[in-house]
Structure 1
Amino acid sequence: MDIIDSIILGIIQGLTEFLPVSSSGHLELGKAILGDQSVPKESLLFTVALHFATALSTIVVFRKDILEIIKGALKFQWDDNLQFILKIAVSMVPAIIVGLFFEKQLEQLFTSNILLVGCMLIITSLLLFLADKAKNTNRSVSFKNAFVIGISQAIAMLPGISRSGATISTSVLLGNDKTKAARFSFLMVVPLIFGKIGKDILSGDISTENQSFTALSIGFAAAFIAGLFACTWMIALVKKSKLTYFAFYCAIVGLIAIGFSLLN
């Protein structure tokens, strides 16, 4: 993998991890349009590095919140901080179950199934449109909400469903404050990313052979910087109810994908 490829992949990962456009869906579209051999197949090590970069960018953006939550939770008092951590844990349950028991079935869906991607992008578009029209409140995410949002995160494993779009939209439609919904959405995925990284490392499948550490470092930096930008921008967009632009984008790309699949 050359330097240009690593920069492009890093930027795509950093942006699509937070912007509600579905990174997996766009990858499948790219593979179908350009051909599998035309898309650089990054190693597992490179993939792990990019995911670590976006997780790190989330931690940097929410560093004050995370420190406050951890300090509060260490007091072992039943306060908002301890409850927030437990809500994050509850939200992880559906994704962990799907990941452990349906991993092979999910992998079979990532075979340039353009019709599925198109339909899922339309669903993402509808979710974003409805969330943008919802009235803002001061409500925080409850334990019941956390589990429901976790279900939407698990469903977002399907190619074409945006993880951030699905979780933020679900939270807002449940009547939660938009800024708090975005904050919860971005923080709830961090433990899952680190868990997946740990699983990949322990699996022994990661190889450093034929890997350019220059390209790896540059890809990491590109994903980290793009992640900082996208995470901060997305919070502002949700707060100002500007998700409709992404709703239209997903709808247009989804319709094009459906048309492309029907004509081929």
Structure 2
Amino acid sequence: MSPIQALLLGLVQGLTEFLPVSSSGHLEIVKALFGLELSGNESLTFDVVVHLGTALSTIVVFRKEIGEIVAGLLKFEWNDETKFVSFILLSMVPAGFIGLGFEDEISTLFEGQLLLIAAALTVTGLLLFLADRAKTSGKRVNAAEAVIIGLAQAIAILPGISRSGSTIATSVLLGIDREKAAKFSFLMVLPIILGKAILDAKDIISGEALGAEVSTL
């Protein structure tokens, strides 16, 4: 991957990551339009870099909320902050299960398949359309809703299904206040992003180590 290609993909990732338009879907479209093909190691390295960039920007934007959560956890008591973190952990279960078990197969299935990606983008658009017309009650996320929102995040492993779009839309359709839905959506992804970056970095290191061993034979 050339520096220009890396810049182009990074620009697309940066512009679409926090919009409900599916960054993964748009990356696949750009790759197809420009005939970009990444090797396994290049793809993993790119994923690690953009995931870390996403995590860093999320931490910067929500630094006040994260600080309040940390302060609440350090009180070592059951309060709003510990409850919020427990709901985030609940929401991670579906995404972690599907991501660890099926991510590679799904990525292979959708790679370069613009019709499938277009269909997924249409689903994202429909979710946003429904959420825009939904009435909210101003309530917060509860345990059952955290699991449902986690399922929406898990489905967003499909390129073209926006993670933020699906989770925020699902939250709003459940009657959760839009501002609280957005906050929960962006904070719930932090552990997933950081975990994914660590696993990808581990694969890169393992691959390089294996390559070094093979080269010495």
TM-score, structure 2 normalization: 0.87
Structure 1: gaps (5+ residues): 208-264
Alignment partner, residue 35 of structure 1: 35
Alpha-carbon offset, residue 22 of structure 1: 1.0
Q: 1:108 to 1:27 in 2, by over 3 A?
A: same
Alpha-carbon offset, residue 122 of structure 1: 1.0
CA distance in 2, matches of 1:130, 1:103: 27
CA distance in 2, matches of 1:89, 1:193: 13
Q: 1:46 to 1:160 in 2, by over 3 A?
A: closer
Q: In the alignment, is residue 71 of structure 1 matched against residue 71 of structure 2?
A: yes
Q: Is the 8 A contact 1:136 1:176 kept in 2?
A: yes
Alpha-carbon offset, residue 110 of structure 1: 2.6
CA distance in 1, matches of 2:29, 2:43: 20
Q: Is the 8 A contact 1:90 1:147 kept in 2?
A: yes
Per-residue displacement from partner, 1:81-113 (whole Å, max 9, x unpaired)? Answer: 000001110000001101222233213223212
Q: How does 1:118-137 map to 2 (within 5 A)?
A: 118-137=118-137
Alignment partner, residue 180 of structure 2: 180
CA distance in 1, matches of 2:104, 2:39: 23
Alpha-carbon offset, residue 206 of structure 1: 6.5
Alpha-carbon offset, residue 202 of structure 1: 2.4
Q: 1:62 to 1:163 in 2, by over 3 A?
A: same
Task: Say which is worse superposed, 107-116 or 162-171, in terms of deviation.
Answer: 107-116
CA distance in 1, matches of 2:182, 2:207: 32
Higher relative contact order, structure no. (Cα contacts within 8 Å, ≥ 6 residues apart): 1
RMSD of Structure 2 on Structure 1 (CA): 2.1
Per-residue displacement from partner, 1:200-242 (whole Å, max 9, x unpaired)? Answer: 22232465xxxxxxxxxxxxxxxxxxxxxxxxxxxxxxxxxxx
Percent identity, aligned pairs only? 55
CA distance in 2, matches of 1:206, 1:47: 15
Per-residue displacement from partner, 1:19-75 (whole Å, max 9, x unpaired)? Answer: 1111221222233333345x8994533331221011110011110110101111121
Q: Is the 8 A contact 2:9 2:27 kept in 1?
A: no
- SS of residue matched to 1:141: coil
Q: Is the 8 A contact 2:26 2:160 kept in 1?
A: yes
Task: Give 1:31's aligned amino acid.
Answer: K
Q: Is the 8 A contact 1:109 1:159 kept in 2?
A: no
Alignment partner, residue 197 of structure 2: 197
CA distance in 2, matches of 1:194, 1:102: 18
Alpha-carbon offset, residue 138 of structure 1: 1.8
Alpha-carbon offset, residue 134 of structure 1: 1.5
The runs of at least 4 consecutive aligned structure 1 residues that moved more than 4 Å come to 39-43
- SS of residue matched to 1:29: helix
Alignment partner, residue 240 of structure 1: none
- SS of residue matched to 2:161: coil
Q: 1:161 to 1:65 in 2, by over 3 A?
A: same
CA distance in 1, matches of 2:140, 2:87: 11
Q: Is the 8 A contact 1:32 1:112 kept in 2?
A: yes
Aligned residues: 207
CA distance in 2, matches of 1:60, 1:31: 29
Q: How does 1:1-264 map to 2 (within 5 A)?
A: 1-37=1-37, 42-203=42-203, 204-205=205-206
CA distance in 2, matches of 1:65, 1:128: 25
Alpha-carbon offset, residue 3 of structure 1: 4.3
Q: 1:30 to 1:12 in 2, by over 3 A?
A: closer
CA distance in 1, matches of 2:134, 2:101: 35
CA distance in 2, matches of 1:86, 1:191: 12
Alpha-carbon offset, residue 175 of structure 1: 0.3
